[in-house]
Copies of this chain bind each other. A is one copy, B any other.
Amino acid sequence: MSDLLVSPACLEFLLFDWLRIDGKSGFDRETAGAILDMSSRLASGSFLSCYKRADVQEPYLDDSGTHILPEIAEALSQFRELGLFGASFPEELGGMGLPQSLSLAIYGLFASANISAAAYAMLTAGNARLISAFGTPAQIDMFARPEIEGRWFGTMCLSEAQAGSSLGDLRTRAVREGKDDLGERYRLTGNKMWISGADHDASENIIHLVLAKVANGDGSLPEGTQGISLFIVPKKLPDGTDNDVRVAGLNHKMGNRGTTNCLFNLGEEDGAIGWLVGAPGQGLPQMFQMMNEARISVGMGGAALACRGYRHAVRYARERTQGRPAGQRGGEPVPIIAHPDVRRMLLQQKAYAEAALALCLYCADLVDDGSEEAEELLALLTPVAKSWPSEFGLVANDLAIQVHGGYGYTRDFDVEQIWRDNRLNPIHEGTAGIQAIDLLGRKILRSDGQAMALLRRRIAATAEAARASAHWPVQAGVLDAYWDRVEAVVAGLRTCDSAEALDDATMFLRAFGHGIAAWLWLDMALTADAGGTGFAVGFASACRYFFEAELPQAHAWLAVVDGHGRSVRTCPDEAFI
């Protein structure tokens, strides 16, 4: 069944032939290959085998807490035994010391097998990384280490019912109680919403990282985002007693059902005990480190599900016979992969899925790089890595259903669940609209243009190589012209009213993402050509398709942004009847 997952060989190609992480990290290919193979075996075994069941048998809440599918707990326990919770953590913290790029590739394997099971590990690693980055040595020892070992799991508690995307409206309150070995101790009261993994029976303890506002002396809460601080709130306190946290209910989702998602109350009695992480008022900037990692992981989820659906569709299209080539009467029916419309749907899926995969790995490689230049570029690309794989991964999954025809609409096949699971990705960790404002507003229009200049240099380098290549000189020119156009559109937007400039931000984000995907496809095709690997034919086909059929559409999106249409802004409320 491993032919249904993200391909370990493709991951190895992207990491070592394309990104050349061995030259940067010193991490050798053979070891990485062995880790990817081991991960692929576990993913295609225990994770994939309960994919359907995770959908049908939802988590439930009773007096003893929240219960998840036992097979998911068992799969995570095997994941722990392989040390994979600590994949990307340094050895001195008990981790495996893998580069982020390789660690994200491993996550992609598991996400393609069973994303709602893999999510527990992703959340736990993000949580532990935040504590490792900003916590005290005592906090790291007490809370992060058991997470890195995979004995305790972690969550991130941001949203409240009235504060989803708008964190300045948080009402969870923290009152200082004193200080102990674990730092400044507070009592927290409030209600959190949409908390993934906030309760379950798969780990010994659950470490919540909670955003809350430290109350003013008069008991009032500071306004806006300034007063927000970050707290470690464990389900079970270090002395083994229960903290004052309680799950108030589970959300019943369309997909991604293996991951519990909870309404969650802090301080129904004396207040939940929480220890401040870092400095007071630094909650948001700290959390955004985790959020950025989480955003790239969400993108990887979208990419992984796109790959999964694609591989189901290819398998089905090779096996299913129906119809005959156009113009032919009589004779035996042919496998549907012979029909141009089916081939287009497969190629389109591949073009989305593998560019999405590459984009996420590229971003993780920038994390590993860690230079100032890499950080600038990463900040620019993170909203794209979150949203483009989510949006076009979902389109790919829609096509996977279509390739299956009526069978794809039944629950006997996996593609309908893959589509439902993937629909979460354009929503959580910041909707596409939020990412769009981040990209166009903060990262482009309100920036000094350094990151964009860096990006253009890297794109120019690819174009230059393509211009000198046997197959790709045409695409080189098309790519440069496309990015000239992006910059011209941005220049136009700089002359607009700053709020109105963001009116079409979502379409800009989409067009920007397509430009990135075109660049990566060209770069990957060049690498595959040079290496003479088994990926050359597929990558060249997808690259040609992307430039031929996708980039022209993206030009039209840019034209819409550039036209800066008034229809949305001038449309009065009474239009919506």
Within 8 A of B (CB), among A158-211: 159, 162-166, 169, 193-194
A556 to chain B: closest residue by CB: B556
A55 → chain B, closest Cβ, in Å? 11
Inter-chain contact A567/B548, CB cutoff 8 Å = yes
In the bound complex, do residue A505 and residue B341 qualify as a contact, i.e. CB atoms below 8 Å apart?
yes
B427 and A405 contacting across the interface, CB-CB below 8 Å: yes
Q: How large is the interface on A (under 10, 10 to 19, 20 to 34, 35 or more residues)?
A: 35 or more
Report if A553 contacts B (CB, 8 A).
yes
- Those of A473-498 within 8 Å (CB) of chain B: 498
> Are B432 and A340 in contact (CB-based, < 8 A)?
no
**Contact A571–B252 (Cβ < 8 Å):** no
- Contact: B424 with A405, CB < 8 Å? no
Partner among B330, B339, B540, B572 whose Cβ is within 8 Å of the Cβ of A223? B330
- Specify which chain B residues have a CB less than 8 angstroms from the CB of A555 in the assembled complex: 556
Binds B, one of A37-45, A232-240, A408-416: A408-416
Q: Which residues of B contact A506 (CB under 8 A)?
A: 341, 344
Interfacial chain B residues near A193, Cβ < 8 Å: 406
Binds B, one of A141-149, A321-329, A355-363: A321-329
B423 touches A409 (CB 8 A): yes
Given A322-B164, A333-B166, A411-B253, decide whether A537 and B575 contact each other with a Cβ distance below 8 A: yes
Query: Which residues of chain B are near A165, meaning CB under 8 Å?
Result: 322-323, 405
Tell me the bound Cα distance from A569 to B549 in angstroms: 13
User: Contact string, A300-326, partner B, CB cutoff 8 A, digits 1/0?
Assistant: 000000000000001001100111111
How many whole Å from A316's CB to the nearest CB in chain B? Answer: 11
Query: Which of B169, B437, B537, B576 is within 8 Å of A572, CB to CB?
Result: B537
| Known pairs A323-B165, A327-B499; A254 contacts B344 (CB<8 A) | no
- Cβ of A545 within 8 Å of any chain B Cβ, yes or no, is yes
A534 and B577 in contact, given A402-B432, A498-B326, A572-B541 (Cβ under 8 angstroms): yes
A323 x B541 contact (CB < 8 A): no
Indicate the member of A411, A428, A553, A568 with the most B CB atoms within 10 Å.
Answer: A568
**In-complex Cβ contact of A410 among B252, B394, B498 (8 A):** B252
Nearest chain B CB to A88's CB is how many angstroms away?
A: 28
Contact B406 A164 (CB under 8 A): yes
Of A27-35, A115-123, A272-280, A557-565, the segment with at least 4 beta carbons within 8 Å of chain B is: A557-565
**A109 interface residue (CB < 8 Å to B):** no
Question: Within A420-468, which residues are at the interface with B (CB < 8 Å)?
Answer: 420, 423-424, 426-428, 431-433, 436-437, 441
Instruction: Find chain B residues with CB under 8 A from A341 CB.
Output: 433, 436-437, 505-506
- Residues from chain B with a CB closer than 8 A to the CB of A565 are 544-545, 548-549
Chain B residue contacts of A346, Cβ below 8 A: 576
Q: Could you tell me which residues of chain A, from 372 to 426, have a CB within 8 Å of some CB in chain B?
A: 394, 398, 401-402, 405-406, 408-412, 416, 419-420, 423-424, 426
A538 adjacent to chain B (CB < 8 Å): yes
User: Do A224 and B344 have beta carbons less than 8 Å apart?
Assistant: no
A127 contacts partner chain B, Cβ-Cβ < 8 Å = no
A251 touches B410 (CB 8 A): yes
Please determine whether A409 and B560 come into contact, CB atoms closer than 8 angstroms. Answer: no
What's the nearest-Cβ distance from chain B to residue A419, in Å?
8
Give the distance to chain B from A439, nearest Cβ to Cβ, in Å: 13
Chain B neighbourhood of A409, CB < 8 A: 253-255, 423-424, 427
- In the bound complex, residues from chain B placing their C-beta under 8 Å from that of A339 are 433
Instruction: Provide the bound-state CA to CA distance between A563 and B547, in Å.
Output: 12
A528-544 vs B: 1/0 string, CB under 8 Å? 00000011011011101
Query: Of B254, B350, B560, which contacts A549 at CB under 8 A?
Result: B560
Residue of B nearest to A324 (CB): B166
Most B CB within 10 A of own CB, among A224, A498, A560: A560
Q: Is A431 in contact with B411, judged by CB distance below 8 angstroms?
A: no
Residue numbers in B under 8 Å from A542 (CB-CB)? 575
A406 CA / B575 CA spacing, docked (Å): 26
Is A368 an interface position by the 8 A CB rule? no
With a cutoff of 8 Å between Cβ atoms, the chain B residues found around residue A570 in the complex are 541
A402 touches B427 (CB 8 A): yes
Q: Which of A332-349 contact B (CB under 8 A)?
A: 333, 337, 339-344, 346-347
Instruction: Tell me if A62 counts as interface (CB < 8 A to partner B).
Output: no
For the complex, is A502 an interface residue (Cβ under 8 Å from B)?
A: yes
The 29 listed contacts between A and B (C-beta, < 8 Å) are: A162-B333, A164-B405, A165-B323, A166-B323, A166-B333, A194-B406, A251-B406, A254-B416, A255-B409, A314-B577, A326-B498, A340-B503, A340-B568, A340-B569, A342-B433, A344-B503, A344-B504, A402-B427, A405-B427, A409-B423, A409-B427, A537-B575, A538-B574, A538-B576, A544-B567, A548-B565, A549-B567, A553-B557, A553-B560
Q: Chain A residues in contact with chain B, CB under 8 A?
A: 7, 159, 162-166, 169, 193-194, 223-224, 251-255, 314, 317-318, 321-327, 329-330, 333, 337, 339-344, 346-347, 350, 394, 398, 401-402, 405-406, 408-412, 416, 419-420, 423-424, 426-428, 431-433, 436-437, 441, 498-499, 502-507, 534-535, 537-538, 540-542, 544-545, 548-549, 552-553, 555-557, 559-560, 563, 565-577
